[in-house]
Amino acid sequence: MGKKKDKVVDLKPEKITDEQLKKVQDLVNTINRGQLELGVMETRKHMLLHNVAGIQEQLTVMQNEFQEQYGTFDINIQDGTINYQEDEPSDS
């Protein structure tokens, strides 16, 4: 009495096309390469910041030496002239 139902065939594709797969793989690989390069750049940046901080410390030490020796660390870095303050008496 009951009519048998036909089986419904699922027509959904199982995979994307080869062209789509290649394109999405290329995009993901490009992103991965970019992220890797950013990581390398961040490491270089960190090292450079560390080096600059060390050089700034050396400069501070040298300025302190100038202050002790000459009474000022205001030095013309082009020609080495000491820029004494006008209100400071000179030793001469």
Counted domains in the chain: 1
* pLDDT for position 11: 86
Looking at residue 6, its pLDDT comes to: 67
- What does the buried/exposed string (b/e) look like for 67-87 if buried means 16 or more CB atoms within 10 Å of the residue's CB? eeeeeebeeeeeeeeeeeeee
- What local confidence, expressed as pLDDT, does residue 41 receive? 98
- Asked if the structure places residue 92 within a domain, the reply is no
pLDDT of residue 2: 57
Specify if 32 maps to a domain: yes
Per-10-residue mean pLDDT of the chain, 92 residues long, equals 66 94 98 98 98 98 97 95 78 54
Which range of residues forms the domain containing residue 23? 16-79
Spatial CB neighbours of 66, under 8 Å, sequence gap ≥ 6 = 72, 73, 75, 82
> Per the domain annotation, does 71 fall within a domain?
yes
| pTM tops 0.75 | no
Q: Is 86 among the domain residues?
A: no
Query: Looking at residue 89, what is its pLDDT?
Result: 56
d(CA 24, CA 10) in angstroms, rounded, equals: 25
Note whether residue 85 is domain-resident.
Answer: no
